[in-house]
Structure 1
Amino acid sequence: MSPVEVGAPKWWLRVRELFAILLFVSLVSGCGSWVFPGKKLQVNPDVIRDIRDAGKVVSEADMEIPWDGSSTVIKILIIDTESPSVKEAINRSSNFLHSLEWKAIDQEDPLRMKSQKWKNVSLSMEPIDSYQFLELDSPQVTKAIEMARRQTMPEALMVLELYPTG
């Protein structure tokens, strides 16, 4: 014990212990995320390699979304399905993904799928003309879309967003 603690009442020592515990808990929780840098969630590169076979990847980009000291990286692949129509492009892409053990979560636009083979990853898929994102927040995505449009017909282009879920 230090000389100050010798004459201090026991309740004061308890208050100091409680204060130290509360300070520690607040630093470890979200209040202290600036002290302990967060993690970056990304899709496993093996998943991306697996998906590349859905068609010819004509362009790609990463979109990083920060959240409370951490971030999530969404991988965007723009695929040329070499289809004559949007409907055929959707069918070809979804059939290929089903063969890779991806299962549709819903049939909305965009089509969302969950992998049965890979854990903690999902994707959304939609035609390039339907794809929406915040251009100001994602200049890399804007460039990827422009590059893809210059290479082939937009009817054949599908945008796949792969994102970690855990």
Structure 2
Amino acid sequence: MERWKVKPAASYRGAMSNARGRQFEAVIDAGCRYYRMHGIANIEKTPEPFRCLHKGAGGIARVRFMSHAQPDYKGVLKGGRAIVFEAKITDKDRIMQDVLTQKQADELDAFQELGADSFVCCGIQDRFFMVPYTVWSNFKLFFGRKYATPKDLSPWRVCFDGAVKFLDPYRR
């Protein structure tokens, strides 16, 4: 039986989730361009590691994505401080702490231990937040549970004007 006939609902949800993630990264990228243009920071998306399995005609290739090795975004703030963050989005009314894999959490911890400012930039429905990793990794302590709602994250809400201005509360 063909793969798409086995679980069409799951395949559809996966495709929608991937599209939502790409859209979220696009508005974060717009924020990165804004901060670069204004001399505030130079932050870039970390390319996903992959290996080319086969090069086909017309520039089409078959690739295999390797394990996620680095935070989604890395860069430097004016003055020299390093910043790293993961990007996560959901269309639900809450975001689960465990949307970060253990590998992603370990990487944010490692960068933070070396002095980088580590965050999770997240979207919950139509609201966006830049949550310090020390808060994210301690949801149970801060909120009494392993998920957060927009109300919980309101101190870290950021502006959205077509771009996620993820540094706005951070610079205050």
* TM-score for both structures, normalised by structure 1: 0.29
* TM-score for both structures, normalised by structure 2: 0.28
Higher RCO (C-alpha 8 Å, min separation 6): 1
